Copies of this chain bind each other. A is one copy, B any other.
């Protein structure tokens, strides 16, 4: 089997962690005789923008459209407004390729301790399914009375039945596939009184088709608090674009930090390439120092393998990460260690080769 990967390392620590991720891809090829990966790297991002006035070439999306998957690092630099860097690179990829599922595990890896005093590995193991193409990130809005005291800005939340249904259906399908019994749905219908009751209506309809699964709908404020007080209740959590975004950074925090957390931007029907990326940003404050944690990127490689049907390789990568963490010798500073990005990456690759 041969798979083509489009690699977009991006900005800041992106290229640093990507280098380690690609070492794992190469090692996988050596380990598993029957699988080949080829990859093409694209130097898009904020540097490209500062030279060319755009984040990627006009035909950028076409250049990567036919690859099997996309591996992404991070985007953003202090010199480029965030809404430019994001809306001209990562969001067009998510949308054009209908990567409507943003899948993010919240799982306390072996060898790590949760910052939550009373929670153990058994309590912290669930999946967040985030809508990834519409909702609060609508790109629709504007301003009025600019420059006056009466100036105002409006931005639309846009929820379609099409978009809402497909993400909720995906969540239930996933629950059944993983034999999970509990579905948690985020809302805020009490206050966001047009968009969120619509979301709830569709949620209740789809929940009704799945009596085998226990469904709870919680307001996002309460749900954020439950991530602290009763994370053990969750199997699958599903939320809108913004709610899923907030919950997954919070999820990362309760299992050890943003440096560890992976994500998949998934087009479930395989009509377009899916994209895998750590959930952390480009972290300009530590870029260039060689101390970024590569685990989020490497775990994203594992999610990519799983998506490609290479389940065993995927599991072996996660096992390698866990063994390095359990030994506790090689860790980046965010985990209290003194090792570099490269040292952590190579320790994981070494494990992976010798498991």
Contact = CB atoms under 8 A, between A and B. Distances in A.
Interface of A: 76, 81-83, 85-87, 91, 113-118, 136-137, 139-143, 148-162, 188-199, 220-222, 224-229, 241-242, 245-246, 248-250, 252-254, 257-258, 281
A149 B164 CA distance: 11
Contact of A160 (B151, B221, B222): B151
Nearest to A151: B161
A258 B222 contact: yes
Nearest to A158: B154
Given A116-B115, A224-B249, A253-B224, A189 B152 contact: no
A87 B193 contact: yes
A245 B220 CA distance: 9
A136 B253 contact: no
Contact of A191 (B136, B153, B229): B136
A215 to B, nearest CB: 16
Contacts of A86: 190-191, 193
A191 B152 contact: no
Given A195-B154, A198-B143, A253-B224, A162 B190 contact: no
Contacts of A257: 225, 229
A136 to B, nearest CB: 6
A246 B258 contact: no
Nearest to A228: B253
Contact of A224 (B83, B160, B224): B224
Given A148-B161, A153-B198, A153-B199, 16 more contacts: A81-B197, A83-B189, A83-B196, A83-B197, A114-B117, A115-B229, A139-B193, A149-B162, A153-B195, A154-B157, A155-B193, A222-B258, A222-B281, A224-B246, A225-B252, A225-B258
Contact of A149 (B156, B161, B191, B196): B161
Instruction: Pick the 10 closest A-B CB pairs, nearest first.
Output: A141-B194, A153-B198, A82-B190, A155-B195, A221-B249, A225-B253, A228-B253, A83-B193, A151-B161, A155-B194
Contacts of A225: 249-250, 252-253, 257-258
Given A154-B157, A159-B152, A161-B151, A191 B137 contact: yes
Contacts of A158: 152-154
15 contacts: A86-B193, A115-B118, A115-B229, A141-B195, A143-B194, A143-B198, A149-B161, A149-B162, A153-B195, A155-B195, A191-B242, A220-B245, A225-B253, A226-B253, A229-B253
Contacts of A246: 220-221, 224, 246
A86 to B, nearest CB: 5
Contacts of A193: 83, 86-87, 137, 139, 141, 155
B242 A228 contact: no
